[in-house]
Amino acid sequence: MNQNKLFQRTRIRLAFWYAIVMGLILTACGFGFYTAVSHAHSEALDRELEFAAKSLHNNLELKLNQPEKLSPIVKEVLPNICVVETGCISEKSVSQRHILNAINQGYYVRLFGNSGNLIATSGSLPQTQSLDLNKKLWQTIEDDTGNFYHQMSLELHTKDNRDWGYLQVGRNIADVNSYMDAVKLSLLVGLPIAMMMVAFASWWLAGLAMRPIYQSYRQIQQFTADAAHELRTPLAATQATIESVLLMPDLDIKEAWDILATIKRQNQRLTSLVVDLLMLSRFDRESIDLQRELCSLNDIIDDLIEEFAAMAISAKVTLKSEISVHKDVNIIGNSEQLYRLFSNLIVNAIQYTLPSGEVTVILDSYESDAEIRVKDTGIGIPTQELSHVFDRFYRVNSDRSRHTGGSGLGLAIAKAIVVSHHGSLELQSEVNKGSTFIVTFPLLQPSRTILIKKGL
């Protein structure tokens, strides 16, 4: 396939588009994955922070009496609190009640008055000069050392519901950021590697997808060459006959009749070849609109035995039928084609059987199948040729078959007819012992047979 420029170019183009489409899908998936992970982490962070901030807020509000004033009991809730006016209080014993102790380290708390003045702080605060209050519920801030923090701001009230000020709870998000950076890095490194793998896979898949197309392309090429070769022989013979006639100074009536008979023979051969080719091409298009009717296999076999009796006699071959079933074996099909199928098999059997040999057509009927065997005691077919005899223009022995007038299309047509009737065609053969062609057709159910006979 790679030697053929058209197929090579198509394969490259197909692989390229595969890779582009797969690459875009992979990139979109990677981006989607990153967004989903980042969103899940930021949601988890928000929930964690919200839980801490609201718990602290509810606890503090129960202990605040005066606006902007911290009651001593507050230090039970906030460990190591640093009050702007008085300095830091160092708690020795850490009580279970300290809400922030229950959460990871890295949290900080800031308490602001109503006018935004900083009152107290606790925990690992951002290293920033600006102590202004930002009242937005959620914020992400960067401190002077480049660390990022996420924080939540809530209003605080005293026990008797007067405005106390504001509570800000936040935490360092370096761990979340570094995790997301690791995810981003692995995607950035993984994506080009995946793209390279996709490119290789695309090349391989494109080859795989094109293999059957290439095979049928080769078959068509072979078929065209074989058909041209077969057509050339009778055409060349006709041409030679006509040229020889033109060279004759005068022609008597007897010679003219002989020449015309030769041309007629060659013309007949051409016509039958063209008819066979047309038939095969119609089968190939699968658009063949067969007229189907109820066909009796018993009748077809009887007719053909009668038709080919003379041929068998002149070939000194015994032709007979064995119909063991005593009822009509019917199938739905095209009788013209069924005649063609069995005559191809019977003619072959007679032609490839030596004088004093025997050709038997056997009809059997099973539960759901009808079986027709065309059996001869002829020259047989070598085992290595068995799988090829149904190929178009294939002849086991070219010279021998040409002598019989065969073009190598007979069995290909027989096979196409069997397939179009949903049947199967098998071949058993042994050199110098004979061949048996076994045709099987699905049998028409008796109830359907009655309906069809009644024309329903």
Residues that bind ligand ADP (CB under 6 A): 344, 348-349, 352, 376, 378-381, 389, 394-397, 401, 406-412, 435
The strand ranges marked E within 324-368 are: 330-333, 358-365
- For ligand ADP, the closer of residues 210 and 350 by Cβ is 350
- For ligand ADP, the closer of residues 192 and 382 by Cβ is 382
Instruction: Give dist(CA 164, CA 111) in Å, integer.
Output: 10
Q: How far is the CB of 412 from ligand ADP (least distance, A)?
A: 6
Q: How far is the CB of 301 from ligand ADP (least distance, A)?
A: 17
- Do 11 and 213 touch, CB atoms closer than 8 A? no
Q: Are strands 293-296 and 358-365 parallel, antiparallel or unpaired?
A: unpaired
- For ligand ADP, the closer of residues 121 and 429 by Cβ is 429
Instruction: Give dist(CA 155, CA 165) in Å, integer.
Output: 6
Q: How far is the CB of 402 from ligand ADP (least distance, A)?
A: 8
- For ligand ADP, the closer of residues 171 and 395 by Cβ is 395
Q: How far is the CB of 389 from ligand ADP (least distance, A)?
A: 4
Q: How far is the CB of 364 from ligand ADP (least distance, A)?
A: 19
Q: Are strands 138-142 and 148-157 parallel, antiparallel or unpaired?
A: antiparallel
Q: How far is the CB of 309 from ligand ADP (least distance, A)?
A: 18
Query: Tokens in use for 400?
Result: 């021998």
From the list 265, 375, 378, the residue with the least C-alpha distance to 316 is 378
Question: Measured at CB, which residue is nearest to ligand ADP?
Answer: 406
- Do 26 and 157 touch, CB atoms closer than 8 A? no
Q: How far is the CB of 411 from ligand ADP (least distance, A)?
A: 3
Q: How far is the CB of 358 from ligand ADP (least distance, A)?
A: 12
The percent helix, strand, coil of the chain (3-state, each to 5) is 50, 20, 30
- For ligand ADP, the closer of residues 59 and 272 by Cβ is 272
- For ligand ADP, the closer of residues 108 and 437 by Cβ is 437
- Do 53 and 122 touch, CB atoms closer than 8 A? no
- For ligand ADP, the closer of residues 89 and 427 by Cβ is 427
Q: How far is the CB of 349 from ligand ADP (least distance, A)?
A: 5
- For ligand ADP, the closer of residues 201 and 362 by Cβ is 362
User: What are the two backbone dihedrals, phi and then psi, of residue 312, each rounded to the nearest 5 degrees?
Assistant: -65, -40
Concatenated DSSP letters of 295-331? EEHHHHHHHHHHHTHHHHHHTT-EEEEEE---S--EE
Q: How far is the CB of 10 from ligand ADP (least distance, A)?
A: 34
Tell me which amino acid residue 328 is: D
- For ligand ADP, the closer of residues 99 and 347 by Cβ is 347
- For ligand ADP, the closer of residues 101 and 343 by Cβ is 343
CA atoms within 13 A on the CB side of 166: 20
- Hey, is 223 helix, strand or coil? helix
Q: How far is the CB of 404 from ligand ADP (least distance, A)?
A: 6
Dihedral angle, C-alpha 413, 415, 420, 426, nearest 10 °: 160
From the list 79, 81, 69, 130, the residue with the least C-alpha distance to 110 is 81
Tell me which amino acid residue 101 is: N
Instruction: Give dist(CA 375, CA 441) in Å, integer.
Output: 17
Alpha carbon distances (Å) from 350 to 87, 225, 313, 354: 119, 29, 10, 8
Instruction: Give dist(CA 30, CA 33) in Å, integer.
Output: 5
- For ligand ADP, the closer of residues 241 and 321 by Cβ is 321
Q: How far is the CB of 362 from ligand ADP (least distance, A)?
A: 14
- Do 70 and 89 touch, CB atoms closer than 8 A? no
> Which DSSP letter does residue 355 get?
T
- For ligand ADP, the closer of residues 171 and 375 by Cβ is 375
Angle between helices 297-307 and 335-351 (to 10 degrees): 40
